[in-house]
Amino acid sequence: MRVLGIDPGLRFLGWGVIEAEGSRLRHVANGVCLSGTGELASRLLALHQALTDVFARFQPHTVAIEKTFVNKDAVGTLKLGQARGVALLVPAQFGLEIGEYSPNSVKKTVVGVGHADKRQVEHMVKMQLPGAEIHGSDAADALAIAICHAHHMTGPGMRMRA
């Protein structure tokens, strides 16, 4: 099963693709979609086009995305929510189901601790996906989201669909 994880962001939208066969995981690809610095609508369009290209190239079977947390910056949270909307739209256009996970759930699954820092997450992603060249912290987070989804898809009572 090919799993694509998405770490939504307006400036940098991380993505990571893994293959899961039972409990075995294999790195396929990862990267970051950049939106540029123009007006909001054109930045969202750039994210949509870049993420659509990722889906067309890697053809995932399932998708996972990180849930948005609300912070003190309401404007920043709203913009993040709009980028997250694009990240939800693209897999829906491909007819895929979407798993959603909180940041703490992803960290607990991948690192074993719900409040791990970015370095710990990236280290554990590299341990679980040996040989993966990770293209930045946003891509590492996206791979962690994909790993989290793969583990939840194979948990008790769950069945992975190919």
Domain locations in the chain? Answer: 2-153
Q: Is 66 marked as binding a ligand? A: yes
Catalytic (active site) residue 53? no
pLDDT at 151 over 50: yes
- pLDDT tops 90 at residue 36: no
Q: What is the pLDDT of residue 40?
A: 93
Instruction: Check residue 78 and give its pLDDT.
Output: 84
Mean pLDDT across the stretch 31-57?
95
Q: Which fold has domain 2-153?
A: Nucleotidyltransferase; domain 5 (3.30.420)
pLDDT tens-place string over residues 73-131: 788 888 888 999 999 999 999 999 999 999 999 999 999 888 888 899 999 999 999 99
pTM over 0.75: yes
Contact 103, 69 (CB under 8 A): yes
* Residues 98, 8: Cα–Cα separation, whole Å: 13
Active site annotation includes 39: no
User: Active-site residue 100, yes or no?
Assistant: no
| Weakest-pLDDT range from 36-40, 87-91, 95-99, 145-149 | 36-40
Does residue 42 carry a pLDDT above 50? yes
- Is pLDDT above 50 for 35? yes
Give Cα separations from 104 to 56, 122, 146 (angstroms): 30, 15, 14
Decide if pLDDT at 157 tops 50.
Answer: no
- Higher pLDDT residue, 156 or 43? 43
At residue 69, what is the residue type? F
- pLDDT score of 162 more than 60: no
Query: Which residue out of 21, 53, 66, 100 is catalytically annotated?
Result: 66
Annotated binding residue at 138? yes
Q: What is the DSSP letter of 38?
A: S
Given 53, 100, 138, 141, which residue is catalytic? Answer: 138
